[in-house]
Amino acid sequence: MMIREVSKKTWLLWGLFVVLFLLSAMDLDYSGLSTFSLAMGRDVLKGLSQPDWSFFYDGSGEDLFSLLLLTIGIACLGTMIATVLAIPITLLSAANLWSATPWVAKIGKFICNVLRAFPELVYAIIFVKVVGPGPFAGVMAIGVHQIGMLGKLFTEEMEAMDERLTEEMQAVGANFWQTMFFVRVPYLMPIYSSFALNHFEIAVRSAATLGLVGAGGIGAPLIFAIQTRTWSKVSIILIGVVITVFALDQITGIIRKKLR
């Protein structure tokens, strides 16, 4: 009987998936396919297979190497700002720190939800209008968004930690701040550091697109190259981004293993 019930549920879920897929497929506009041609596709692939290596570095400060360093710098600074500012948000949001006044934790969680509700690109558009185009707008966009993301993750870890550790400290007379610095911080710091490194990787990917709206980084020359169909330049930029992301993933992965 159990096998039949599981089988019915499985078939029901698959049927629902197929219906949703068909409804989505029927709702799409396929008129763009009329402009597609195999010759155009071959030209794109041919251009991408011939990267413009002269754009890698020319000393102008607008080459691929310089812009990738700028992109990494935007992501690093934005993540550092977010990590620091996420700590007070965590202290405000963790329900186990506000057991007597639970409404305080709800306010903190609401702030986190608001900050992470909008993607970095939306924040970048706003900050470009506020502080002007440039890397600082990208740093602020990544920082504000990741305050909400890291604040949520930090809060969940704070609430999930074993409270018996703090209770033992309180039993020998430790106050709130003593339990915070001698129990919670040593316990949570490796986890928080791992989260920050992981979001630094994510921020690098985000920073690579923020240049589309004038927030600095490699995004602006990428979109200009696509618009002018300079596929050899698009190719070298994509290669640079992929290698950068892969290298950072390997480096931060090693550091995260050391923190465990």
State the total domains in the chain.
Answer: 1
Let me know if residue 152 belongs to a domain: yes
State the pTM of this model.
0.81
Let me know if residue 221 belongs to a domain: yes
Instruction: Tell me the CATH number at 74.
Output: 1.10.3720.10
Res 37: pLDDT: 66
Let me know if residue 32 belongs to a domain: no
Let me know if residue 1 belongs to a domain: no
Where b means 16+ CB within 10 Å and e means fewer, 167-187 reads eebeeeebeeeebbeebbeee
Over residues 145-179, the pLDDT tens digits come to 999 999 999 999 998 888 888 888 888 888 878 88
What residue numbers bound the domain in which 164 lies? 61-259
Res 1: pLDDT: 45
| 8-state DSSP, 94 | -
Over residues 167-217, the pLDDT tens digits come to 888 888 888 788 888 888 888 888 899 899 989 988 988 888 888 787 778
Let me know if residue 18 belongs to a domain: no
Res 56: pLDDT: 85
Res 206: pLDDT: 85
Res 171: pLDDT: 85
Res 3: pLDDT: 47
Task: Look at residues 161, 149, 139 and name the one whose alpha carbon lies nearest to residue 115.
Answer: 149
**Position 143 pLDDT exceeds 90:** yes
Over residues 87-140, the pLDDT tens digits come to 999 999 988 888 888 899 999 999 999 998 888 889 999 998 888 888 899 999
Res 156: pLDDT: 92
**Position 5 pLDDT exceeds 60:** no
Instruction: Classify the C-alpha dihedral 235-237-241-243 as positive or negative.
Output: positive
